[in-house]
Structure 1
Amino acid sequence: MFKKILLVFTLLTLLSCNVTKPVIVTKKAVPSSSKKVAARAIKKTNEVKSILKKEQEQVDREDEVIESTSVTYVGTDVIGKYISQYKDIAMSNMRIYGIPASIILAQGILESGAGKGDLCIRANNHFGIKCHEGWTGESVRHDDDSSQECFRKYYEPAESFNDHALFLTGRSRYASLFKLSKVDYKGWANGLRRAGYATDPKYPDKLISYIERYHLGQYDAIVMGEEYVPIENQRTRIAAIDNQNRSLYEVQKGDTLYSISKKYNLLVTELKQINNLSANTLSIGQKLKVK
């Protein structure tokens, strides 16, 4: 009996030791080279994300939201194609009717959504012209200032461009516009708004923005037989007049005495004389007196 009790006691003691024995867990060490590989992978992933973000931001910057008779989302390439497609008819109408080609194109871009707007697609209406009293041609209904207003419909874009010219020249409220200079696009843009062409208070700013960003003034210059001065060069000139060293101009890559003289309304001989130049060669960074 005593031996049995001793045997039970011994077994209980052994079981107790097994239960309280700590459990040791080991982990396989990660080589330092693996850590470096993982770190490089994370860095590469972050770089790719950064590049994709920049590319998306670039795409966003190239998008245009055109809002007039309808809201249209287009890329700058679409606007470029629109200008290329209709610049000749705009210049032709400028010669015939006296409306600046820059204004014609800017209005066409805005009113038609660069050719992608609903009204343009359905009715070839590039200028958002409503039916008005006396219109006997075809028409479509379109929401604008009011619901389902009547807009003119044309068989082809050329008819719309021609009707736009007749619309402006045939109404006395636009007569004051034709007293303005053909290169005064800001005057024309503001005059259209005052005459009631559009109700949007930002209409002139939108037209001016398109003219300046897409250099539409070059087509006015072609019709007028003048040299076109890009808007950034015009601003450079103003900045030169406004700053402390306003009489100096720093020669840029591609500049010639002729291009600089045109920029500042000087003769080449005058420019050479006031700068004591004996030759026609220039150096980048060279400073010239332009006044």
Structure 2
Amino acid sequence: MKKTFLLLFLLGLSILSIKAQSTQDYILANVNHAQYLMQQYQLPASIILGVAIHESAAGRSKIAKYLNNHFGVKGANSNAEIQSAYRDYPSVDSSYSHFVSFLQSRKYFNVLFDQYDQYDYKNWARGIQRGGYAASRTWATQVIAIIKKYELFQYDNRPEGYIEPINPPEAPSRKTLAPKKNKIYTIKPGDNLSTIAKKNHTTVTSIMRKNGLKSPALKPGQKIKL
């Protein structure tokens, strides 16, 4: 009985060791490309790896195995082995590269490249969550926990003595932002769309589109949205 218990205990330890090692293997297999992307775009390698580990279960998820999708990006795929709402990639590296281009192509994420440097993984995680990358309110906390657990920040090449920025107050997510109200302007004698657009930092095309105008002609007393 004691021998059986000991064998089961050792087997449990062995399984835990294999799981931990598989995540480490995943990191070692992908860290070079993550660092390459960091050097090119100043996005922390720790964030790239942390998000990938979280979204793909360190490469063990079904969409990672069958679709090379390591970041949970949805889209069409041509894979006949599984039915999935997630897009496929020709390689793991292409999934990693697309993650960065995805962030750059969305205005809610693109601003982060100007706000944070390649060492500030905590604010990057919070910023990506605020942009609506995931529905979970604890998504950023989970990614940060992964980065800390596996010390992924060591791959960010932080300068000696680097001090992490003080976390700014949490900004509302794009889903909770109040809709912007249109300003109403009353046309005065001598007004034209060009001068109105310049004074209000907009364009003639935008004003015409908002007001359904087919002609730039205006009448005194007419009210338009800006």
Question: Which of the five TM-score ranges fits, normalised by the shorter chain?
Answer: 0.5 to 0.7
One-letter amino acid of the counterpart of residue 158, structure 1 = D
From 89, 102, 110, the counterpart of 1:175: 110
Assess, with a 3 A threshold, how the Cα gap between structure 1 residues 140 and 195 changes in structure 2: closer, same or farther: farther
One-letter amino acid of the counterpart of residue 13, structure 2 = Q
One-letter amino acid of the counterpart of residue 117, structure 2 = S
1:140–1:152 CA contact under 8 A, matched in 2: no
2:37–2:45 CA contact under 8 A, matched in 1: yes
- Whether 2:27 is the aligned partner of 1:83: answer yes
Structure 2: any 5+ residue segments left out of the alignment? 164-226
Q: Counterpart in 1 of 2:150?
A: 214
The 3-state SS of whatever aligns with 1:218 is helix
2:44–2:121 CA contact under 8 A, matched in 1: yes
Residues 124-143 of structure 1 mapped to structure 2, 5 A cutoff:
124-131=68-75, 138-139=77-78
1:99 positional shift: 1.1
Assess, with a 3 A threshold, how the Cα gap between structure 1 residues 171 and 128 changes in structure 2: closer, same or farther: same
Q: Counterpart in 1 of 2:6?
A: 51
One-letter amino acid of the counterpart of residue 50, structure 2 = A
Assess, with a 3 A threshold, how the Cα gap between structure 1 residues 227 and 139 changes in structure 2: closer, same or farther: farther
User: Residues of 2 paired with 1:187 and 1:60: CA distance?
Assistant: 34
Q: Counterpart in 2 of 1:288?
A: none
1:78 positional shift: 0.8
When the two chains are superposed, the root-mean-square deviation of aligned CA atoms in Å is 2.9
Q: Counterpart in 2 of 1:187?
A: 123
2:72–2:86 CA contact under 8 A, matched in 1: yes
- Whether 2:149 is the aligned partner of 1:205: answer no
Aligned residue pair count = 162
Indicate the structure whose relative CO is greater, using CA pairs within 8 Å and at least 6 residues apart.
Answer: 2
Assess, with a 3 A threshold, how the Cα gap between structure 1 residues 191 and 218 changes in structure 2: closer, same or farther: same
TM-score (norm 1): 0.49
The 3-state SS of whatever aligns with 1:128 is coil
1:125 positional shift: 0.8
2:116–2:124 CA contact under 8 A, matched in 1: yes
User: Residues of 2 paired with 1:138 and 1:208: CA distance?
Assistant: 30
1:158 positional shift: 1.4
1:57 positional shift: 5.2
One-letter amino acid of the counterpart of residue 152, structure 1 = R
One-letter amino acid of the counterpart of residue 60, structure 2 = K
- Whether 2:43 is the aligned partner of 1:99: answer yes
Structure 1: any 5+ residue segments left out of the alignment? 1-44, 64-74, 132-136, 230-291
1:106–1:210 CA contact under 8 A, matched in 2: yes
2:42–2:117 CA contact under 8 A, matched in 1: no
Q: Counterpart in 1 of 2:89?
A: 154
The 3-state SS of whatever aligns with 1:152 is coil
> Structure 1 vs Structure 2: percent identity of aligned residues?
32
Higher gyration radius (CA): 1
User: Residues of 1 paired with 2:101 and 2:86: CA distance?
Assistant: 16
1:79 positional shift: 0.5
User: Residues of 2 paired with 1:140 and 1:226: CA distance?
Assistant: 46
2:43–2:117 CA contact under 8 A, matched in 1: no
- Whether 2:100 is the aligned partner of 1:165: answer yes
1:130 positional shift: 1.1
1:56 positional shift: 4.9
